[in-house]
Structure 1
Amino acid sequence: MGSSENGVPATKTHLAITLRQRSTRRRIFLRRRRTKVPTLRLGGNKARRGPLLVRVLRSVQLRLLKLQYLKKFREYYRKFLKELATAGVSLEAIQQRLIMDASYAAGGASGTY
């Protein structure tokens, strides 16, 4: 082996090899940042989010509104089923009609036009 300029013999060390291996390795980024589209705000400063309590109350209000709509929907559905039962129509026939209507409505999905 040859000697270097300062008198220390030039040898290959495992440290040099590992550093070289690390530099050739590709890094995998799991979370990539999206590039932001440049925007222009008209009318002053950036809108503030508001106090924490206001945001919490707003989210609670939205949840309650969602529950009200679900409750109304369930009520309408139960009334609908009761009316069908009084009319003497079987649920199987209704389900079959709904499936047929849906299959005709989604004609593009099956590939036939």
Structure 2
Amino acid sequence: MVKTGKSDTKNLFDPDELVLSKNEILEFCDRVIEKWSKNTTKNAKNILAMNAVKTSVLWTDDESLKAIWREIIAWTFELLYENAMSQDEQWSNMLKKLKNKK
């Protein structure tokens, strides 16, 4: 966590903490479905899957949503890192150096 300069705990930054509301997550899902609906033939399975995601978000309590999305966010960053590592040797070497500086 990084402090933003004030002692108030609301001003602490935690990139793994979900601060979006359930409605904001549902709005995101709707935007994705709207985008995919421009080509329903190509995206039919994706639209169906995203509707399943929306349903699960609707049925899930806020604390569970936060726990689930915390893991999704952490996993996404790890996956992006691993993907970058496997694509380009020069990029991979730079990331390894950065990781080793921890």
**TM-score of the aligned structures, taking structure 2 as reference length:** 0.27
Say which structure is richer in helix.
Answer: 2
> Per chain length, whose mean CA-contact separation is higher, i.e. which structure has more relative contact order (CA < 8 Å, sep 6+)?
2
